[in-house]
Structure 1
């Protein structure tokens, strides 16, 4: 069974979640704060990370940012009582894969973990380092857009979304498909987050009028190049 890294500063909740996951066959590494969690991550390279957002020493968002500097693929699930759109968007920007609001059921957590692990096993064909998008050069591994010597740094989630739009360029990228792929489900709340990311990509690409991301009503988006 997969090895999970669980980071939760509320000890009683952490023990309940750890014991429940271990009873379902998972191997669980437990940490009570973000710094300890990051140390365990580097030492053990777990298959997935489940982290509280509000933690001492190093919060969950900062932890995700550190992890993404060395591992772009390991699934990260945030546990939090905070559910404002800005918090959710920030979590996804930093490379989180899912967001579970407290209180939550262990069954729901396990379903989400398994879905992310299964999706992570899907091997995508390797893409060239630089992808041409009109006058822009999109450096996917480095998460940057370049135009006339000017570079635009991108978040992990922005780069993943633009890559999928590029792969489907001049064709419709279905909204529900990208939500399931990058956000884990196609709920209304995640849909609002996706809209924010699309708006940001349009702003990044605005200096080439031949490049557009258009809405296809009721279906999704199309990157026109």
Structure 2
């Protein structure tokens, strides 16, 4: 059951929101002020927050900013007064996903909540298919390597080397270990094959392959990803 945090100082509006959200099988957490909202967010870790802009104490913009900083994946909808276009712009700048104008149709609010939660769910699934270690991303689904969101053309073995390194930052691998893990335990080749592939890989991913900052040589042993 998704948890929705409502931060609204007007009891009538808060109750109205609570009734309609609970009718749609959401768990609802209530707060009357920005400070209380942040405290309850830390306790309950909601999936989405509905924030009024005009709150006693810290306003909705600050609450939005703090929630986005603490919980990057949380959904946030701002409640704004009719005609306050600047509120809409500021809300989006502070990290809100959407805004809704008072007075509003409860069905519209529920649909927007569901749309944001659906998108968040899709992003979480997508994240599981990616191995991220800035500035590199390995897309496990398509088996592509990206640097600064630009695809790097690598061979299948270079891809496997990168995947192994990114999954094990700071781990020193011997040449024999890399040969076994990437080429397979039944492969009886020269360990110098690793040096050749590392050199080619460095030429593709390093800013300056002569002074590598990602793949570090461990003299007498092998290689390590500097994570």
- Category of TM-score, reference length = shorter chain: 0.5 to 0.7
Q: Which stretch shifts more, 86-95 or 58-67?
A: 86-95
Q: Is the 8 A contact 2:4 2:27 kept in 1?
A: yes
Change (3 A) 1:58 1:82: farther
Change (3 A) 1:43 1:25: same
The residue number in structure 1 matching 2:70 is 70
Q: Is the 8 A contact 2:80 2:88 kept in 1?
A: no
> In the aligned structure 1, how far is the partner of 2:82 from the partner of 2:135?
37
The residue number in structure 2 matching 1:129 is 134
> Which 4+ residue blocks in structure 1 deviate beyond 2 angstroms?
82-87, 123-131, 166-169
Change (3 A) 1:22 1:57: same
Q: Is the 8 A contact 2:20 2:110 kept in 1?
A: no
Structure 2: gaps (5+ residues): 137-147, 152-227
Matches within 5 A, 1:75-224: 75-81=75-81, 83-122=83-122, 123-124=126-127, 125-130=130-135, 167=149
Q: Which digits, 9 at most, give the CA deviation of each residue in 1:5-63, with x for residues without a partner?
A: 01111111111211221122111001111111110000110111011111101211100
> In the aligned structure 2, how far is the partner of 1:24 from the partner of 1:89?
29
Deviation at 1:88, TM superposition (A): 1.7
> In the aligned structure 2, how far is the partner of 1:57 from the partner of 1:4?
21
> In the aligned structure 2, how far is the partner of 1:77 from the partner of 1:71?
14
Structure 1: gaps (5+ residues): 132-165, 170-225
Which structure carries more relative contact order (alpha carbon 8 Å, separation 6+)? Answer: 1
- 1:4 counterpart = 2:1: no
In our comparison, the structure showing a higher alpha carbon Rg is: 2
TM-align CA RMSD = 2.0
